[in-house]
Amino acid sequence: MIVDGFFLAGAIICLLSMLICVGAAILRQPPNDITIISVAVVELFLVVYAIAAVVRQLSGEPVLGEPWEFWGYFLTALLVPIGAFWWAILERSRWSNIVLGAVGITILVMLFRMEQIWDGVAGL
């Protein structure tokens, strides 16, 4: 897999979000604006990543792996921050911040897989 700007940007955003959320949990904070916004930024990154993927696809830089596997991963990833947000705000406890923190690590792993598929490395 080629480590490109998309992966680096996504990895930094995911790790920062995870650190913010877990940090807030350690400080015994329930989900607040900062932790929720950090998860929203992860979601925003995914949207930007998808737009960039469409542009790359159309401008002669296609997915080397299975395109529908790539987009399957993407659609699943898109649901993770939304689901975690919904699950976390149902209870205002610090554990809900760790639920939000799980978004960062999950999306990071999924981004890694999406990048692998994009570069045509390894199958599922």
Residues making contact with another protein (CB under 8 A): 66, 69, 72-73, 76, 79-80, 83-84, 87-88, 90-91, 93, 95-96, 98-99, 102, 106, 124
DSSP letter at 65?
Answer: S
Q: Which is nearer to another protein, 24 or 99 (CB)?
A: 99
- Distance between first and last Cα of the chain: 15
Task: Show the tokens assigned to 55.
Answer: 């542009």
51/87 with CB nearer another protein: 87
Torsion of CA 48, 50, 53, 54, to 10 degrees: -110
Closest Cα to residue 38, out of 18, 10, 11? 18
Q: Residue 69 or 119: which CB sits closer to another protein?
A: 69
Cα 34 from Cα 77, distance rounded (Å) = 21
Q: For the CB of residue 79, give the shortest distance to another protein in the complex, in Å.
A: 7
Output the smallest distance, CB 46 to another protein, in A. 15
Least Å distance, CB 76 to another protein, is 5
Between residues 53 and 84, which has the closer beta carbon with respect to another protein?
84
